[in-house]
A and B are shown apart, each in its own frame.
Chain A
Amino acid sequence: EDKVVQSPLSLVVHEGDTVTLNCSYEVTNFRSLLWYKQEKKAPTFLFMLTSSGIEKKSGRLSSILDKKELFSILNITATQTGDSAVYLCAVERGSNYKLTFGKGTLLTVNP
């Protein structure tokens, strides 16, 4: 059975802090790992990682994948209150492209 485990489940930080969110996985026929940000409603896509060791960056957010150790991290530097959200990690199987999601990390950034 495919498994995606995110840690921590919740995190409270102050504006300006740097945070690291973790995602470990076990999946048959791994194809990619995706990160989403979910505020009040629908998840929105952040990154897709397929190759080990290559960092993806978008502004203050960055992510990297380690296919040998089966995990990924999402870093957010200089956090802002607008970063408060649930961050979801999902892993895609190559055989059928289905996504298995982790439970998410609830990030709260206080002013």
Chain B
Amino acid sequence: NAGVTQTPKFQVLKTGQSMTLQCAQDMNHNSMYWYRQDPGMGLRLIYYSASEGTTDKGEVPNGYNVSRLNKREFSLRLESAAPSQTSVYFCASSGSLSRTETQYFGPGTRLLVL
């Protein structure tokens, strides 16, 4: 039982490049989330998916797109990376949107945009 897995663990991009961060969970959770965490900051919600087939914007969605591929997988895409997107990205999942206390986090992807 791996929980929430994220790939890659670390990535360096040049400004303007695109990439997709992958996230998968094996807990049969309905809801999934993408957060970013900048130095000295708490986590900020980028996008979330309440259930398979739905996605919604969070607090800081600009510059990102998401896809809920199936119940297990939720990907985050940067179409044209900018230095301001240098951050650590966490994926999380929970049993349902209202079961916040069950929100489990993945190990994070550290992204550096030059």
Interface residues of chain A, those whose CB is within 8 Å of chain B, are: 4, 9, 31-32, 34, 41-45, 48, 88, 90, 92, 96-104
Contacts and interface: CB of A to CB of B under 8 A. Distances in A.
27 contacts: A4-B42, A31-B100, A42-B4, A42-B90, A42-B105, A42-B107, A44-B105, A45-B103, A45-B104, A48-B101, A88-B42, A88-B43, A90-B42, A96-B97, A97-B100, A98-B45, A98-B48, A98-B59, A99-B43, A99-B45, A99-B100, A99-B103, A103-B40, A103-B41, A104-B40, A104-B41, A104-B42
Contacts of B90: 42-43
Interface residues of B, number: 21
Given A42-B90, A42-B106, A42-B108, A32 B42 contact: no
B70 interface: no
Given A99-B45, A99-B100, A43 B40 contact: no
Interface of B: 4, 40-45, 48, 58-59, 90, 97-98, 100-101, 103-108
B100 A32 contact: yes
A21 to B, nearest CB: 13
